Structure 1
């Protein structure tokens, strides 16, 4: 699959939008705890989306960097013609395994970081969830420095790495 980062981004964005839509319908004009299980799931989705969307952006930047760095390394026609059929077959296998590895790396970044971020949320949560009128369920964390570090630390680290890729892309392009 060539567009793994885009698929991860679309899936989590659709899940977050659906979650907010359902929350807005259920808690329109009230704060009565009608669906406690849904609120538990909803607060986990909100925490995951806060990490997965930047991670998917990081995967997209990596993909763009890989494409542009290959473009900067253009081969001449004579070099391309120099390969025999056997070497092309070996090259095709290498390309196949490299693409497969890229998919695994993108899945590790897009899903693995999410799995790592969920336990850090449980460390700083005050209660299971909070219900706001007309908005719905939200995650409930304290405003302590450690809580802010655990909540925003993931986004900052991913954002810094994404910015490095962006700067490198600007330099290559």
Structure 2
């Protein structure tokens, strides 16, 4: 998760600095890189893996983990945390009507056509990871409340490398992030759908018809985050 937070902050910082008062197409290579990172999906995927790990520790089926078990878990976590975001961003070209867009005050932005590939390959993933993480976190809290008197024994029974204090900190981190990131994931998905205006039957030729005519979209209107809602 820390990797995705650093990447996201660095990406947004560079975009804000370079395009804080303009929407000039001055760094096309950077925009290509910036929009291929997939940090929005990556952060929620990482938190989902953390929540799943904590739920497994307090599960009544928890047993001592062997080296092979740890290896399988690590492979699964890496595939979810990094593999899914990479795959999501690689598939973006399928429903990408322009190379990228630039918004004054915001920087490089995605362009997309509302069609079934956009829904299946991008929009639904943050809410899916958010819901999954919330369910795992709710289960963890339930188990801890139910076995609060034997909390130390429950954590120690999983034979993980976590101490009780580390478990609590990690649980607090994941739950706190999900309380914020979960609603934002749904808000972002709804915003994508609303700003796309209408659903379009998918056609590769139609979606990519503007690539040569308008490879980059420019929006000179200053972007200001609306925090009133």
Shorter-normalised TM range:
0.7 to 0.9
Q: What do the CA deviations read for 1:116-173 (whole angstroms, capped 9, x no partner)?
A: 212332222121111111211111113x253345432111222232233223223322
**SS in structure 1 of the partner of residue 97 of structure 2:** strand
Residues 44-123 of structure 1: matches in 2 within 5 Å? 44-45=36-37, 48-69=38-59, 95-123=66-94
Q: Could you list the runs of 4 or more consecutive aligned residues of structure 1 that deviate by over 4 angstroms after TM superposition?
A: none
> Structure 2 regions of 5+ residues with no counterpart?
145-229
Q: Tell me, in whole angstroms, the C-alpha distance in 2 between the residues paired with 1:20 and 1:27.
A: 11
In structure 2, relative to structure 1, the CA distance for the partners of 1:20 and 1:148 (3 Å cut) is: same
- Is 1:30–2:22 an aligned residue pair? yes
* CA distance in structure 2 between the aligned counterparts of 1:159 and 1:139, rounded to whole angstroms: 21
Q: Which SS does the other structure have where 2:59 is aligned?
A: helix
Per-residue deviation, 1:100: 2.0
The alignment's TM-score, normalised by the length of structure 1, stands at: 0.73
The CA RMSD over aligned residues, in Å, is 2.2
Residue ranges of structure 1 left out of the alignment (5+ in a row):
1-8, 75-90
Other-structure match for 1:133: 104
2:20 aligned counterpart, secondary structure: coil
CA distance in 2 between counterparts of 1:111 and 1:131 reads: 26
Structure whose alpha-carbon radius of gyration is higher: 1
Equivalent pair of 1:27/1:133 in contact (CA under 8 Å): yes
